Every structure is written in C-alpha cells, then in structure tokens.
Amino acid sequence: MAPWTRVCPLSELPEGARRVADVDGVAVVVFNIGGRLHALEDVCTHDGGDLAGGELDGYEVICPRHGARFDVRTGAVKAPPAYEAAAPLAVRVAQGWVEVRDERWD
Ligand code: FES
C-alpha cells in the first residue's frame, strides 16, 4: 500500500487555498473548498496543463490552458476538451498535517 505523503501543515491550507506537492515524482494539487480537502494529480488529461493554476467554480477546477473542467472531488470531466478524468488522490489530516496518498497502484 502506498504511504501517506505530507503536503503542508493544515494551518497553511486555509479555506479557499491550494497547495502543490511532489508525491514520488507526481505533481499533486490539494484544494481546500469550504473546509473540505480534495486532491488531484496536477495534470490536465487534455494536454498536460497544470490544474493548480486554474480558477475554481464551485467544485470544478478550470484548466488554464484550454478550459476543460474537472470535479475536484472525483476528477470527473465536466467540460471538454478533456475527455479522460483527472486522477484523484486520497487526502487526510493527521497530527495537524495534510497528507495525500496515491491509491491507484495499491
Ligand atoms: S491542457 Fe487542459 S484543457 Fe487543454
């Protein structure tokens, strides 16, 4: 089972903020939306745009390159030109730290 990786202290990810982390060579973005944390691989499935640089519209992140939308809770595509879901990661708070885990390979 993949280990949990620390991203930052929870105090550094207030509501409305986002943080990027490297998890075993994979760029990950964690969003705090309404006090809930959601993590996605920081790669747009259309053409590799960084989702961390995208605007949020509710629970949807808008890729800054060509405007594809993804649900940050699931990675599901909500608008083209992307057609494949972004990869969600598990996220938790442990001892005051935000941690993520890539469960795709478990
Ligand atoms: S790279 Fe994200 S919409 Fe094209």
Residue-wise pLDDT for 31-72, tens only, equals: 999 999 999 999 999 999 999 999 999 999 999 999 999 999
Residue 105 pLDDT level (bands cut at 50, 70, 90): low
Alpha carbon nearest to ligand 1 atom 3, residue: 66
Enter the pTM of the model.
0.94
* C-alpha of residue 50 to centroid of ligand 1, in Å: 8
Counting residues of the chain whose pLDDT is more than 90, the rounded percentage is: 89
Q: Are residues 45 and 51 in contact, defined by beta-carbon separation less than 8 angstroms?
A: no
Mean pLDDT, the chain, whole residue set: 95
CATH of range 5-101; options 2.102.10.10, 1.10.1760.20, 1.10.10.60, 1.10.1300.10: 2.102.10.10
Distance CA 30, CA 26 (A): 13
Using most ligand atoms within 8 A of CB, pick from 29, 42, 47, 62 the residue to mutate for ligand 1. Answer: 47
| CA dist 53 → 17, 18, 29, 74, 105 (Å) | 12, 10, 10, 18, 26
- What the block records as the tokens of 4 is 């949990």
* C-alpha of residue 43 to centroid of ligand 1, in Å: 9
* C-alpha of residue 13 to centroid of ligand 1, in Å: 25
Domain spans, the chain? 5-101
